[in-house]
Amino acid sequence: MNTRQTTQTLSPPSATTTVAPAGGSASTTEGDPPTTGPDRTAVPEYHTRVLQSIRRIIRSADLYSKYISTRHGITVPQLVALLTVCEHGPLTVTRLGKLVHLSPSTLIGVVDRLEEKGLVVRERSGLDRRVVHLHATEKGRALASRAPSPLQQGLAQALESLPEEEQCLIATALEKVVELMETDAILDAASVPATGADHGMERHA
């Protein structure tokens, strides 16, 4: 007995065809935004604006640190540390780190360079030889007295021209941003040696 072979022509579904998965409801038509997966929603506009602003602040701080280093032979992180030792010293390195908010790895490099330049000295405590304090030298105090503000001069002048209430709002807003960033669960100090800002400072420390 002969078997007749038939040919069946299948046409592709149109753009408006709804495909229903087995055991489920129909999915969206072609061209609709995905409802699952990494592309299901766009990054909120404010997230992008905040990130861009933070990056611009870091870049401006790096450029100003280069300028201060060229003109005065000291970077902004070094100057901030020196001014802090002059104001609150003698200080341990641990205490200094808490005051200037630098990671331990960055701070050690900053202190080493200040000592190499003769601006600070390390001295062991007379009460406990295991404790080392940082002292500003006469050279360090002289530089601190004539050095420019660690804050960009243009920014400092612009802030001073604003009403005190507006200055307070700006400072409070920035402090809030820092607070929100530092409460992020992924920023565990035990597992992250330095922040992005610290890496920027390390390049010019």
Whether residue 27 has pLDDT greater than 90: no
Distance of alpha carbon 82 from alpha carbon 72, whole angstroms: 13
Residues near 78 by beta carbon (within 8 Å), at least 6 away in sequence: 110, 113, 114, 119, 205
Show the domains of the chain with their CATH numbers: 45-148+194-203 (1.10.10.10)
Distance of alpha carbon 137 from alpha carbon 118, whole angstroms: 7
For residue range 82-115, list pLDDT tens digits in order: 999 999 979 999 999 999 988 888 899 999 999 9
Q: Which residue has the higher pLDDT, 1 or 164?
A: 164
Count Cβ atoms within 10 A of the Cβ of residue 92 and give its class: 0-12 exposed, 13-18 middle, 19 or more buried.
Answer: middle
105 alpha carbon, distance to own chain's centre? 15
For residue range 70-88, list pLDDT tens digits in order: 888 898 999 999 999 999 9
Whether residue 135 has pLDDT greater than 90: yes
**Ranges 30-39, 107-116, 166-175: which has the least confidence:** 30-39
32 alpha carbon, distance to own chain's centre? 37
Question: Would you say the pTM of this structure is higher than 0.75?
Answer: no
CB atoms under 10 Å from CB of 104, counted, come to: 14
Whether residue 53 has pLDDT greater than 70: yes
